Amino acid sequence: MKTLSLVALVCIPWIHTSFALDVRGPYLTDLQSDRATIVFHTENDTESIIEYREHSSNPGQVVRKQSQKGKQHVFELEGLTSGTRYSYHIVNLTQDPKELVSRTAPSFFTTPSEPISEFSFIAYGDSRDRYAPKRHNALASNFLKYKPSFVISTGDILLGGPSSSASMLSEDWTLNFFRPLKGIIESVPYLLVVGNHDQDSPAALEGIQEAFPNLKESFHYAFRYSKTHFIVLHVANQMQEFQAQKIWFSEELEKAQDADWRIVFLHVSPFTTGKYRNYEWTLSGREDFLDTCVRYKVDLVLSGHDHSYQRFHPLRATDQDSHAVVFVVTALAGTNPYPALGDEYTAKVVNKTDNFCVVDISTERLSLTAYDNRNKPFDSVTLSRNSREPGMVWRHAPLQDQIGE
């Protein structure tokens, strides 16, 4: 079958036809100067082929890679040229000769140019929508304008619960991930910080590992992009989950000391004045997290979970600390709002407004701008590597009578 199919493919001209089978994707989960990871899902067990080439006035030769037989297809494209635009599509191989030439529409991505002096990424979260993905779609339709190097969700992309499914063709995955992000994730890598809804059943767990192959190893991970070190924690329900990752986190931050910037993501918001402000699940363990972030000079912490937008003044743990950390909650993109009250540590609160953050990074500056679903900026903060605000010392004591509200 494989040999016959490959022989047939050689005879297929570089044409585009509609896809006959029910599929999800393709989408990028990684894109570096010399490599890319592209994921694609089929309804049935099949073998698939990716065809890609440089997209220019003098197109390069078509390169083909074939996946193993299955429903999940992961293509690792290596040996790419930096700063180059590529086109690609997926060809599906089936037992049905009529479907042999089924292929996705062409998609495009551009590898980053080396060295990467400046780049941007987008963070947003809590996009799950029980009714329709219109709000997520409205927000996401703005993303490509900022030419992000990647998009990262701070978690809860899925409804989960009774809607949980390991199938990429299920309604939850279709309505909350593939449909609203179509046109974006084909060309920009999408990363996930696992939220409670994304993991609340065995089916949900299986699903997110099917969608994001890197999560098969661990739900916490780290990566370097240019000279910025990114760390994603698996804190999906309560801050205490941080304890099990504290050694790994500290070691990762140790490695990150030569980076220009250190940015951390987690789903639960360590600092919030929203619905979860006095929940034990928020309160227990957050000072230890703050202390660790301050000690290793984390610059920015982005989180989700408490459905609102909140930015805090730079926080430090003690009077003696010389470094302060900016905490931002970006947690409303389709689900129900949880209004935040704000307090003396809060620099900005915006409630009932779907939001996403564009983070622009250069060697000397890190700027975060928050936008609403009409692409209107409503908050911004800039950090300079050489001139930092002293920040505020966190001395907050929870109101005991409100715990468990």
The distance of closest approach from Cβ of residue 39 to Fe ion in the complex, given in angstroms and rounded to an integer, is 24
* Dihedral in degrees, nearest 10, Cα atoms 246, 247, 252, 257: 90
Query: Does residue 196 belong to the site contacting Fe ion (CB under 5 A)?
Result: yes
Which residue number, 33 or 237, has a Cβ lying nearer to Fe ion?
Answer: 237
Q: Tell me the residue nearest to Fe ion as measured from the CB.
A: 305
Contact letters for Fe ion, residues 262-301 (x by CB under 5 A): ----------------------------------------
Of 30, 47, 51, 156, the residue at the interface with Fe ion (CB under 5 A) is 156
**Residue 41 or 305: which CB sits closer to Fe ion?**
305
Query: Whose Cβ is closer to Fe ion: residue 195's or residue 391's?
Result: 195
Work out whether 73 is an interface residue with Fe ion (CB under 5 A): no
Q: Contact, 185 vs 109, CB < 8 A?
A: no
Query: Nearer to Fe ion by C-beta: 110 or 351?
Result: 351
Shortest spacing between CB 160 and Fe ion, in angstroms: 9
Minimum separation from the CB atom of position 306 to Fe ion (A):
8
Tally Cβ neighbours within 10 Å of residue 376. 10
- Asked if 234 touches Fe ion (CB under 5 A), the answer is no
Q: Whole-number minimum distance, CB 372 to Fe ion, in Å?
A: 21
The count of chain residues that interact with Fe ion, using the rule CB under 5 A, is 4
- Name the nearest CA neighbour of 214 among 33, 32, 26, 39: 39
User: Minimum distance between the CB of residue 192 and Fe ion, rounded to whole angstroms?
Assistant: 13
307 binding Fe ion? (CB under 5 A)? no
**Please, which residue, 229 or 305, has the CB nearer to Fe ion?**
305
**Residue 305 interacting with Fe ion (CB under 5 A):** yes
Nearer to Fe ion, 200 or 299 (CB): 200
| Of 25, 125, 160, 195, the one binding Fe ion by CB under 5 A | 195
Pairing of strands 300-303, 326-330: parallel
Give the footprint of Fe ion on this chain (CB under 5 A): 156, 195-196, 305
